[in-house]
Amino acid sequence: MLASGSGTNLQTLIDDPDVKGHIACVVSDKPSALALERARQGGIPAEVVSWGKHGSRELFSIALADVVEKHGGKGVILAGFMRILSKPFVDRFPGRVINIHPSLLPSFPGRRAVEDALSHGVKVSGVTVHFVDEQVDHGPIIAQRAVPVRSDDTVETLHARVQEEEYQLYPEVVRAFVDGRLGLVDGKVVWD
């Protein structure tokens, strides 16, 4: 698992008995990420691969992939990981990198998804889980849930309702992935 921030999605995965045993490690680009503490509390190895110590996105991505493999990780779940992974990383885990994003992709990729959705005045936003390629918040879509936008929503209130959906959807998808019921075949998402 890769995480950069508070790790509330990570926590729902740690709390899922069908998922927890499959988590080889949690790796963050940020030493201060609360996600690392959540991993340690759950008895899961936690490591930092700091962005600043690597001279380029490629070298950072390779160092990350090395740490994941060192812990025996066969697939990678991004849970609020805020760095772009380059091709050398994605190629090491073909069809085995999954991300969650707080908008209905392909609308509003990037770090400010909820803010961008609100400022465009969309009436429905939501959450997307997708296989990852080397573009930002991009790749074959696995599942989506819609969240209606209210006229008085702020970034905080809308994100909170989107996250409620995230906490339902991500464990469902990750359970299917670790069970081998979900995969990517010839660029297409396949569920058993």
Interaction site with ligand GAR (CB under 6 A): 3, 5-10, 79-80, 100-102, 113, 137, 163, 166
The per-residue b/e assignment along 155-173, b for 16 or more CB within 10 angstroms, e otherwise, is eeebbebbbebbeebbbeb
Beta pairing, strands 124-131 & 97-101? antiparallel
Nearer to ligand GAR among residue 36 and residue 182 (C-beta): 36
Q: Which is nearer to ligand GAR, 70 or 113 (CB)?
A: 113
Nearer Cβ to ligand GAR (111/150): 111
**DSSP-assigned beta bridge partners for residue 182:** 191
For residue 101, indicate whether it is catalytic: yes
**Residue, CB closest to ligand GAR:** 80
Cα–Cα separations (whole angstroms), residue 101 to 43, 67, 105, 151 = 26, 24, 8, 22
For the bound state, the minimum distance from the C-beta of residue 98 to ligand GAR, rounded and expressed in Å, comes to 12
Task: Give the active site residue among 22, 101, 130, 159.
Answer: 101
Residue 52 carries which DSSP code? G
Give catalytic residues, as residue numbers: 101
